[in-house]
């Protein structure tokens, strides 16, 4: 009987802890220069490689990326730094010349290309449903 009660206490503690640890998802948009579908793949891959990023979608015509991430694991500057390191200027980080020069010819964007500016929004990842 003691084992059953102990198991119930442990189960309840784990359940309460997991509810309290619900993550907050932050959604942000920032400008990223690029030209084509190849750029899209590289920009999104660079952003998604950052630990804590759950989604990244680059819009070619608007020259912006929408990212979703866990602020406990990363931040917007870390994501911009990763994208810039892959060769693409962001609104706050310039790509290293070596990375830019390594881009395919069609990906070499105009360095004065206009970009969309930043926005940021935080939401509860479990809003609208329960576990």
pLDDT tens profile 1-13: 655 555 555 555 5
Q: What are phi and psi of 49, to 5 degrees?
A: -70, -15
Is the pTM above the cut of 0.85?
Answer: no
Report the pLDDT averaged over residues 15-41: 80
Calculate the average pLDDT of the chain.
84
- Tokens 């640890």 belong to 21
More confident residue, 14 or 77: 77
Q: Is the pLDDT of residue 48 over 70?
A: yes
Q: Is the pLDDT of residue 15 over 80?
A: no
pLDDT tens profile 93-129: 999 999 999 999 999 999 887 877 767 666 655 455 4
Q: Is the pLDDT of residue 32 over 80?
A: yes
- Within 13 Å of residue 73, how many CA atoms lie on the same side as its CB? 15
Q: How many CB atoms lie within 10 A of CB 71?
A: 15
Query: Residue 122's pLDDT is what?
Result: 62
Domains, the chain: 24-124 (3.30.70.100)
């Amino acid at each position: 009987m003691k084992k059953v009660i102990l198991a119930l206490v442990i189960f309840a503690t784990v359940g309460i802890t997991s509810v309290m640890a619900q993550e907050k998802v932050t959604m942000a948009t920032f400008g990223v220069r690029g030209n084509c579908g190849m750029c899209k793949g590289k920009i999104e891959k660079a952003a998604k490689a950052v630990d804590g990023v759950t989604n990244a979608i680059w819009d070619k015509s608007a020259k912006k990326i929408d990212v979703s991430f866990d602020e406990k694991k990363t931040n917007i500057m870390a994501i911009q730094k990763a994208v810039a390191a892959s060769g693409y200027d962001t609104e706050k980080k310039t790509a290293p010349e070596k990375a830019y020069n390594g881009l395919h010819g069609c990906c070499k964007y105009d360095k004065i290309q206009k970009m969309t500016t930043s926005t940021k929004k935080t939401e509860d990842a479990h809003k609208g449903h329960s576990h």
